[in-house]
Structure 1
Amino acid sequence: MISHLLATRLAGDVATTREENLRHYARFARRDPELLLGLDPFGGWTDAEVLALMARRCGVSADPFHRHGQDRIDPERTADALERLAEVLGRTAAAGGGVLLGTGHPGPLQPAYAAFGRALRAAGCTLRTPARGERFLMHASEGVRRCGLDYREHVGVLVVYEGPASNNRGEGSRSPGEPVHTHSPQPVRIALAALAESGETAPDLVLGDHGWVCGAGRLGLRAAGFADSNDPAVFVAEEEGQVDVTVPLDDGLRSDCYRLPTAYVLQLAGLSQ
């Protein structure tokens, strides 16, 4: 696993630069909403404290004077977090829990979540699919975007699409637009609100990334998933006990790079099919 992580650059010398990491850590410390990802941190979290945390949990350089060039993710920390993710999935499967899957990385990470979903469903878990066709305005630094929620794969991985999504509310059917890369917590909030409005119980686990895990953890739900070295909010959420497991890796590579880590987690969880 370590060799694979290094060869694909999921960990080791990753593509995310030191400059981008430090810029994001500083923005998080200033409570920039785009870097909070829906989290409301309990602690004060100065720049130095965020850097120290990311060095400990992710493996980036702890040297505050290292300001430019290469940064890294420690593959040993990634492998350890994959094992802890397997424990979470194994416990969820054993309990036959309800699971909500969602991603802000519909290209790279969606196949991994779909594989987790298929295995959990085969083990007796219920996969929640709320808010299909829900339309909303997503707020970001570049302005307001008209978006919709829909599902990729039959297993039900919730994804944000540009423009209206397919509609199941009696207004006809439309094809969704292009899937959107987003860090917003709005999608998970909408999905959880739809579950509550329909009288369904909250999921036992939310599996995802970015605003999916931070938004769910902020609401007191069990959450786990992946995060890059420039996403400090997810690691802060884990440190504060608002997220169960955060796996540090480059979250923007080709989807095939994640096949082996996904199979590794499923094997450790006893969910290989």
Structure 2
Amino acid sequence: MLSRDELRDHLIQSRIAGDVATPRENNLDHYSSLANGDPYYALGLTFDQPWSYRDILALMAKSAGVVPDAGHRWGQDTIDPDLTIDAIDAMAERIAAVLSRPEPRILFATGHPTGLLAVHLPLAAFCAARGARLLSPAEGWTYAGSGFGRPRRIRYLQDIAMLDDRGALVHTHDAAPMRHMLGELNGDLPDLVIADHGWAGAAGEAGVPTVAFADSNDPGLFVGEAEGKLDVVVPLDDNVLPRYYAPLTERLVTGVSQAL
């Protein structure tokens, strides 16, 4: 496993953190949209207090490490790699606490089959090997919504829930699939959800213990964390080349193992 300093260097070089690919103007547009009440950017969450644009920017600077200067409106933005590593370590402790229980039930889901799936797959395999029951509710459930105009369905790959569109696993921010999955469990909710995007937001909104991964342009999950609806949110670029996540995943899995 890489040392903390080596991992920090890797995160910067791979642009998982440091100077990330998400442009500043995209981040600020999403912060403004969330502040204006656009539910798309809330990712399935509701909030207990009003969050202004400047409140959200300040939170994202604190939680993800984006540039705090409101006057910086275009160009490069950042994620603090130390915040990423700290959150990975906190996530590891939270997962270990759940795995320490008898017969824990965990639900995995991702809206990033070309990126974060590379983190979820080995983590799910590790959890299963340590005795967790990985849930797969609502497999095959089909719905239409969120403006894409044709049916999509829930499909599992090695116990990771994703959305399928005519045979292709697709990117999604939608919270509806997780809402349906939890509803199908009839109140017998998971001990933990490990997810991103609307999958994580809907779980946190339902009161399910949830840890999540989120990019700097996904402020809804960080606001949910600030209000206590999500336990841990890891800031990172959520769609770099899958192999780049390997050292981060190794630290996460090793951290869980060491905490057990």
SS in 1 for 2:126: helix
2:174 equivalent to 1:184 = yes
1:44-70 deviation per Cα after TM superposition (whole angstroms, max 9, x unaligned): 000000000000000001101111110
- The AA in structure 1 aligned to 2:214 is A
- The AA in structure 1 aligned to 2:201 is C
Distance 2:239 2:129 in 1: 28
Pairwise mapping of residues 1-273 of structure 1 onto structure 2 (< 5 A)? 1-95=7-101, 96-140=103-147, 143-153=148-158, 156-163=159-166, 177-196=167-186, 201-270=188-257
Distance 2:48 2:208 in 1: 16
1:93-141 deviation per Cα after TM superposition (whole angstroms, max 9, x unaligned): 111410000000011111211111111111111100111111111323x
1:119, 1:271 within 8 Å by CA — same for their partners in 2?
Answer: no
- 1:15 Cα deviation after fit: 0.3
Distance 2:153 2:199 in 1: 15
SS in 2 for 1:100: strand
SS in 1 for 2:212: strand
Runs of at least 4 residues off by over 3 Å? none
- The AA in structure 2 aligned to 1:257 is Y
Aligned residues: 252
Distance 1:208 1:186 in 2: 14
- The AA in structure 2 aligned to 1:111 is A
SS in 2 for 1:70: coil
SS in 1 for 2:195: strand
Give the % identical residues. Answer: 39
Distance 1:212 1:104 in 2: 7
- The AA in structure 2 aligned to 1:108 is G
- 1:271 Cα deviation after fit: 6.7
- The AA in structure 2 aligned to 1:238 is E
Distance 2:180 2:144 in 1: 11
Q: Which gives a bigger RCO, structure 1 or 2 (Cα 8 Å, sep 6+)? A: 2
- The AA in structure 2 aligned to 1:41 is F
- The AA in structure 2 aligned to 1:181 is H
SS in 2 for 1:99: strand
- The AA in structure 2 aligned to 1:94 is S
- 1:38 Cα deviation after fit: 0.5
Distance 2:55 2:143 in 1: 36
Distance 1:158 1:34 in 2: 20
SS in 1 for 2:240: coil
Q: TM-score, normalised by structure 1?
A: 0.90
The residue aligned with 2:4 is none
1:185-218 deviation per Cα after TM superposition (whole angstroms, max 9, x unaligned): 011111111221xxx7110111010001111000
- The AA in structure 2 aligned to 1:145 is R
Q: TM-score, normalised by structure 2?
A: 0.94
Instruction: Flag structure 1 segments of 5+ consecutive residues without an equivalent.
Output: 164-176
Distance 1:25 1:75 in 2: 21
